[in-house]
Amino acid sequence: MSNYLVFTARFVCYWAIGSLFLVGCTSATVNKSPTSISNESPVPNTVDSSTEAYVDWRLDMLDQVNEVRTENGVSAVELCESLNKVAQNYALEMQETENFSHTGVDGSEIGDRATRGGYKWRAISENIAMGYTDVESVMGGWINSPGHFKNLVSDRVSHAGFGKADSSLQADVYWVQNFGTGGIC
Cα angle for residues 142, 145, 149 (degrees, 5° grid): 65
Give yes or no for residue 18 having a pLDDT over 60. Answer: no
Q: Could you tell me the pLDDT band of residue 170, with boundaries at 50, 70 and 90?
A: low
pLDDT of 55 reads 59
Model confidence at 103: pLDDT above 90:
yes
pLDDT at 51: 46
Give the pLDDT confidence of 19-51 residue by residue, as tens digits.
334 444 443 343 332 222 222 222 333 444 444
